[in-house]
Each structure stands twice: as C-alpha cells, then as structure tokens.
C-alpha cells in the first residue's frame, strides 16, 4: 500500500516516479500498479501532450469513483453516517436523531440502519465499500472494538464492534472491515488522511461537543495512551476547587467551557448544544456573557495543550466550535496574550476542515488509515458476534 499512500499525497505520479519514491524497481512497481488498477484503487488519466518526443509517462491517480469508505459518528444527540471516496469527498449523508438515554443496543441498531441506508444510495454495480469506521464519544479499545466508557451517553463496557457486526449479518455490509475509535481521534485522522499537503506533526484536534476531548497524532500514530485515555483534555484541571465536573472532579476544563456549564446548573437540558445555539441566535445577554468567560478558559486550555504537545497545528471542531466568534474570539485573545507575555509566536489554530461532518468523515479516514498501515487488523467477520444490552 506504500504506492497508494504515495499517490494519495502526490496524485499524477508516473510508474517511474513511484519506483523512485518507494525504492522499488520499475518492473515491480509496474506489476503492483497493474494489480491496483484491476482492484480499482488506481486510475490512469490521459497523458498531457508536451513538446517532448518519445513515449510520455502515464500519470496515475486514486480512482475517485470505485472504492468507497463509510464513516459514522455516534454522538449524544444523533447518528451521522457518510460515504466518502478514498480521498475524503462526501458522496452521501444520513443523519438520524436519537433521544438521550437510548440504550447502546437500540443505538447500534439505528447505526446499522443508517449505514445500510447510505450504502443503498451508492451505485451497486460500480461502487464498493472497502472499509468502515465509527467515532464514539468515549474511551475506546480499538483492537477489541470495545467502548470502555462514554460518560455523556451513560454507557460503560460495551462491545460496540461485535454488536454492530451482528446487526450487519446477511446485509451487503457483512464482512466489510470495521474500525472503532474515539471521536476526537478519528476527527484528527480525518485532518491527517484527507489532506493533500503534509499534515502538521504533532497534529491536535480539539473536539468540543457535550464532552471535550482531543485526538493527538504524533509521527503518524494516534497517541492513545496506556489505557486509551490520552487526550482526555476536557479533564485537565484549570481551576483548583472549581465547579464540579460531570466526571466527579472539580475545576476540569469541561466544567468551565462545556455547554452544560454555560447554560447554568439550574436547568438540565435534554439537548444542551441545541439549546445553547438557540440562545446565541436569540442574542441572550446572559448566555453571551457566559460564553465570553468560557471562551477565556478555552484560551487557557489551548495554552496548556500547546505546552504539553507543542503541536504544529491545533484544529478546533465540534458543535461548540459552530458557535463561532462569540466563543472562539475570547479564546484566541487569551492565547495571544499568553504568547505575547512569553515573547513567543502564538500556536497555529484553525477550525475543522470538514465542519459538522468532521467525526463522520474522520471515521472513514480511520478505515483508510488502518487499511493502508499494516499495524492493526480490521475487526473482521470471524469475530464472535455478541449481543449486550
């Protein structure tokens, strides 16, 4: 797959270019390219005629029309599924809202239905799904496709991968390689994989939904930590003895910048992110004040992420990022003030390339990442199927 990775990054290379780039002989590269053309990974394009004489090298491209990926986001309020090309173009989308408190089992059934619905929108004769990924709001053991804990969903120890496999038995998606990972991690992979330029390293994706977490990629690897909890930056303590967090501790970032804390503790909203957006749209003065204060704390968190990881780029995403300048401007101002105080340039911060689709597209990127890196096998159909409530 080294050739495919090379062409992902440098479309239009010839066989000869590829041989040099990956250090193989031209005849070996030609043989591999022939197989990849047959399998639908690559396409040849017409040669651009130049003034030079002799046979022109044929430029090779990843075929955008044949092989597809599915990516799914399971969040607190909805399931979002996309089909993408191998280079991240979104070809079909299905979003299903679900009510809070739904069981993992019911949610997995909805996820399976949404995956099949997106698949049904593709051209069955021409388009083939070669991998699918799921981003989950919690700690995930990717090798076991197992969710340890998703605090904002109230789930713990759920074998999501095996449950989803069971729901897909006897469907067109049975046997398609399946990968699961934390939602911030997959969003980070989306920024890494579907990027025609060389990605920053380390690359940090800060995901702010009901929970706050980060995906960190260092040296082409996800920093998952010793138990899958690395990047749980929503629980970096920003204020000793501060407000109580959903995790039980006090003064965590999530308790200072999360949607629930901005809305205030008096009322528990079933859909805090939607409610927050509504209040911002209405220009509610109390909410705008609370958002400014939370934005300042977001600036402190960004400063701390820069100190911890020295990322080449911090990408901000999630529904909280959609609130825009009213929340992000105070954060960037705080961050700039820290940089100025230290006489250093501020860290590079931008918003997510794929906006609302960042996690779903990132889940598709997870599948591409695992299929083009040899390190972890897919959760394949051999795995025993389980059914857990």
Binding site for its own copies (CB under 8 A): 200-202, 218-219, 221, 223-240, 247-250, 296-297, 300, 303-305, 307-312, 338, 341-343
Closer residue to its own copies (CB): 304 or 351: 304
CA–CA dist 283, 215 (Å, integer): 32
Edge-to-edge strand order for the sheet containing 67-74?
Answer: 90-97, 78-85, 67-74, 128-136, 178-182
Computed over its alpha carbons, how large is the radius of gyration of the chain? 22
Closer residue to its own copies (CB): 137 or 234: 234
Closer residue to its own copies (CB): 149 or 385: 149
In the complex, minimum distance from the CB of residue 212 to its own copies, in angstroms, rounded to a whole number = 11
The vertex-198 CA angle with 193 and 204, nearest 5°, equals: 65
Closer residue to its own copies (CB): 78 or 200: 200
The torsion defined by the Cα of 40, 84, 81 and 196, in degrees rounded to 10, comes to: 130
In the complex, minimum distance from the CB of residue 201 to its own copies, in angstroms, rounded to a whole number = 6
Closer residue to its own copies (CB): 246 or 329: 246
Closer residue to its own copies (CB): 63 or 232: 232
Q: Counting Cβ atoms within 10 Å, is residue 235 exposed (0-12), middle (13-18) or buried (19+)?
A: buried
In the complex, minimum distance from the CB of residue 336 to its own copies, in angstroms, rounded to a whole number = 12
In the complex, minimum distance from the CB of residue 130 to its own copies, in angstroms, rounded to a whole number = 27
In the complex, minimum distance from the CB of residue 354 to its own copies, in angstroms, rounded to a whole number = 22
In the complex, minimum distance from the CB of residue 122 to its own copies, in angstroms, rounded to a whole number = 36
Nearest in space to 212 (alpha carbons), one of 155, 262, 157: 262
Closer residue to its own copies (CB): 250 or 274: 250
In the complex, minimum distance from the CB of residue 248 to its own copies, in angstroms, rounded to a whole number = 4
Q: Are 277 and 323 in contact (CB under 8 A)?
A: yes
Closer residue to its own copies (CB): 144 or 250: 250
**DSSP conformational letter for 356:** G
Rounded to the nearest 10 degrees, the angle between the axes of helix 272-282 and helix 285-309 is 120
Q: Encode 73-97 in three state secondary structure.
A: EECCCEEEEEEEECCCCEEEEEEEE
Indicate the SS3 state at residue 214.
strand
DSSP letters along 295-343, please?
HHHHHHHHHHHHHHH--SEEEEESTTGGGTHHHHHHHHHHHHHHHHHHT
In the complex, minimum distance from the CB of residue 291 to its own copies, in angstroms, rounded to a whole number = 16
CA–CA dist 112, 89 (Å, integer): 22
Indicate the SS3 state at residue 384.
coil
Closer residue to its own copies (CB): 238 or 364: 238
In the complex, minimum distance from the CB of residue 125 to its own copies, in angstroms, rounded to a whole number = 42
Nearest in space to 301 (alpha carbons), one of 358, 362, 255, 369: 255
Closer residue to its own copies (CB): 187 or 252: 252
In the complex, minimum distance from the CB of residue 293 to its own copies, in angstroms, rounded to a whole number = 10
């Amino acid at each position: 797959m080294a050739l495919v990775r090379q062409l992902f990054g440098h479309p239009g290379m010839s066989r000869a270019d590829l041989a040099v780039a990956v250090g193989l002989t031209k005849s070996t590269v030609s043989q591999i390219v022939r197989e990849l053309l047959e399998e639908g990974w690559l396409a040849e394009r017409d040669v651009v005629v130049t003034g030079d004489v002799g046979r022109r090298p044929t430029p090779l491209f990843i075929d955008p029309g044949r092989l597809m990926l599915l990516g799914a986001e399971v969040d607190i309020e909805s399931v979002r599924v996309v089909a993408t090309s191998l280079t991240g173009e979104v070809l079909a989308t299905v979003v299903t809202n679900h009510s809070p408190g739904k069981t993992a089992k019911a949610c997995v059934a909805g996820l399976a239905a949404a995956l099949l619905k997106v698949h049904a929108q593709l051209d069955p004769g021409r388009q083939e799904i070669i991998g699918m990924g799921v981003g989950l709001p919690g700690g995930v053991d990717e090798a076991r496709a197992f969710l340890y804990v998703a605090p904002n969903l109230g789930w713990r120890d759920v074998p999501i991968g095996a449950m989803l496999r069971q729901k897909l038995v006897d469907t067109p998606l049975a046997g398609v390689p399946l990968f699961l990972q934390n939602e911030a991690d997959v969003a980070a992979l989306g920024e890494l994989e579907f990027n025609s330029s060389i990605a920053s390293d380390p690359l940090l994706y800060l995901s702010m939904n009901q929970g706050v977490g980060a995906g960190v990629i260092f040296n082409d690897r996800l920093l998952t930590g010793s138990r899958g909890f690395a990047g749980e930056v929503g629980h970096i303590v920003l204020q000793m003895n501060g407000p109580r967090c959903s995790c039980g501790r006090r003064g965590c970032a999530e308790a200072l910048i999360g949607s629930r804390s901005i809305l205030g503790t008096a009322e528990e909203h079933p859909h805090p992110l939607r409610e927050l957006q509504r209040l911002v749209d209405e220009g509610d003065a109390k909410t705008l004040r609370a958002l400014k204060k939370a934005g300042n704390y977001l600036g402190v968190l960004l400063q701390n992420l820069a100190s911890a990881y020295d990322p080449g780029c911090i990408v901000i995403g999630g529904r909280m990022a959609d609130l825009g300048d009213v929340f992000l401007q105070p954060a960037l101002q705080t961050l700039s003030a820290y940089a100025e105080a230290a006489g250093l340039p501020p860290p590079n911060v931008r918003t997510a390339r794929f906006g609302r689709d960042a996690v779903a597209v990132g889940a598709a990127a997870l599948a591409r990442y695992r299929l083009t890196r040899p390190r972890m096998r897919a959760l394949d159909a051999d795995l025993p199927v389980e059914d857990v409530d």
